[in-house]
Every structure is written in structure tokens, then in C-alpha cells.
Amino acid sequence: RATFKGLNKYGTCFASQSSWPPPRWPSHGHLEYGIPIRGRLEDGRFWVYPNGTLSHITVIGLSDILYYYVFLIALVVYNSALFLRNNFRLLKNHLSDYVSVGADDNKITLYKSAGTDLILPRPVIAAETLGRLIETSTILNVLFECVDIFNTLFGAAILLICFSTVIGVLNALNILLIAGEKNNLTIDMVLHCLCKAFSFLLWNFFVISACGLLKKETELIVKLCCKIQHLLPQVSQERKEFLNLARQVSRRFRTISACGFFDVDFSLIFSIFSYVGTYIVVLIQFSHIDF
């Protein structure tokens, strides 16, 4: 077998094919995950970068930059989605509290029908109810425009967060499995991989939950409008306005989407776990195959 030839002035190490793999280099921290192979020369020799060189440190630095960039993007998307959700909740409270058409028995009175002598229950309708309903419809239009702007601004960011979560979790599992097979697994490596995977999952969960709560608030507005309109007289203008509000919310609201690839709601959480589970099953199956 040929001997290892050392480093040249460019910081690369040379070894003949018969002496592969080259000796391990001392490393520290998360630089110990392997020596990246950079290419192969025409005469059969490999040229690689040892741990700690500028190229390897650059790769690790870019990985850390992406890690913190995803965190900042997730924080911005989470707060923006919660802001929209709170506005829809305030609108729902406006409908139930300030329109003066309640769903409880305390706001039901008796009135005498003009055509018959029957005494029928009728909800209390304030004089300014119709004006407030029209104002609510205007506010809804503004909120729907905000949702469209949110999808335009953060659709690609949400897609990046979901993609980074899947890649980050799979990469952490891959490092743990490979290190375990080679008996190089350490406590520091386990903690580092688990913390990184858990961070990605936590950020992704916050973003998905905020978008899911936004969708849930719009569904509650539709249910509230349908519930209130049943308490109103058939010929009242307020009843028609509530029905129009329910149709407007159902027709115009679009769920938060990641650039149109998929909708962002609570079901996406289970999809991510299914991807990770499928990868683990495939990896375990291939680990029992000899190549």
C-alpha cells in the first residue's frame, strides 16, 4: 500500500487510490462529521480538504447562517399570521357584541304578528345594526386584501421553512445513524443533532399553528353569521346582510399557502412527520442490504 503524502501548499492532501481512505484529521466540535471529497484527479488520486480548512469552515458557516435565517423568517411569519388572526377575532367579537343581535335568551322579546293573532319571539335589533353590518363588510374586504398580501410576501418563506425543517430533521437523523454504525457517536453529537432537529420542528409548528388559527377564525365568523341570521325575521334586511357576510367569507377567503404548492394548516404537521417516518423506514431497510 502506498503511504500518505501529506499536504501541499494549497492546503489539499494527496493519496494514491490504494491508500484510500486517508488518515483522519484532528477536529473539534461539529467539524468532526467527515472530510468532504472535492474531486478526483486524472491519475487516480483523490484530492480532499481536511477538517478545519477554509472551505470546510465556509460550508459550516453557511449552514449556521441558514439556520438562524430560518429562525428569523419563522419569527416574522409567526407574528404576522397572529396579527391577522387577532384582527379576524376582533371582527368576530364586533359581530357578537356590538351589532346588538344576540344568540342568548336575554335578548329575545315577544311581538304580535300583523297578519295573525299569534305572539312570536323576535330578537332585539338595534337601530344602527344595518349600518354596523355594512361597516363590518368593508372591514372584511380590507382583511381579505391583507391575507392576499401575506400570501404574496411570505409564501416563499413558508416553503423555505417547511423544506428546511424536513432537510434539517433528516440530516440530524442521518448523522446519528451513520455515527452509531461506525461507533463514533458521542453525547455532544447526540445533543447537537437533537437540539437542531427540535428547533426546526418547533419553528415550523409555530408557523403552521398561527396559519391554522387564522383559518379557524374565518370558519368561526361564518358559523356565527349563520347562527345569528336564524334568529332574525325572514324579511329583515339584517338577515340578508348576515347571509351576505357568510357568503363573502366563504367565497373570498383563501387559506395560507406556500406559493400554491400546499395549504398551510394543522394537517401539514402530520405530513412532515409522515415524511420523516417514511425516510426512517427506507433507511432501515437499506441498512440491511449489502452492496
pLDDT band at 53; cut points 50, 70, 90: low
pLDDT of residue 22: 47
Each residue's pLDDT tens digit, 233-288: 777 777 788 888 888 887 777 678 888 788 888 888 888 888 778 877 887 777 65
Instruction: Give the span between the Cα atoms of 188 and 170, in whole angstroms.
Output: 18
pLDDT of residue 122: 54
pLDDT band at 212; cut points 50, 70, 90: confident
Q: Which domains does the chain have, with CATH numbers?
A: 1-52 (no CATH), 61-287 (1.20.1050)
Instruction: Give the span between the Cα atoms of 273 and 71, in whole angstroms.
Output: 20
Instruction: Give the span between the Cα atoms of 165 and 201, in whole angstroms.
Output: 6
Question: Which of 18-27, 36-45, 205-214 has maximum average pLDDT?
Answer: 205-214
Instruction: Give the span between the Cα atoms of 231 and 96, in whole angstroms.
Output: 13
* C-alpha dihedral (145, 146, 148, 150), degrees to nearest 10: 170
Q: 23 or 160, which is more confident?
A: 160
Instruction: Give the span between the Cα atoms of 174 and 279, in whole angstroms.
Output: 10
The amino acid sitting at 109 is T
What value does the mean pLDDT take over residues 121-129? 59
Segment (H or E) for 186: none
pLDDT of residue 78: 92
Q: Where are the beta strands (DSSP E) in the chain?
A: 13-15, 37-40, 46-48, 108-112, 119-123
pLDDT of 34 > 60? The answer is no
Strands 108-112 and 119-123: antiparallel
The answer to which of 45-49, 154-158, 215-219 has the lowest mean pLDDT is 45-49
Q: 124 or 142, which is more confident?
A: 142
Instruction: Give the span between the Cα atoms of 247 and 7, in whole angstroms.
Output: 72
Each residue's pLDDT tens digit, 61-80: 777 788 888 889 999 999 99
What value does the mean pLDDT take over residues 171-175? 82
Each residue's pLDDT tens digit, 147-157: 888 988 898 88
pLDDT band at 15; cut points 50, 70, 90: very low
pLDDT of residue 14: 46
pLDDT of 107 > 70? The answer is no
36-44 long-range contacts (CB < 8 A, ≥24 apart) are 38/12, 44/16, 44/17
Q: Find out whether 52 and 25 touch, Cβ atoms under 8 Å.
A: yes
pLDDT of residue 38: 38
pLDDT band at 123; cut points 50, 70, 90: low
| Global pTM exceeds 0.85 | no
pLDDT of residue 114: 52
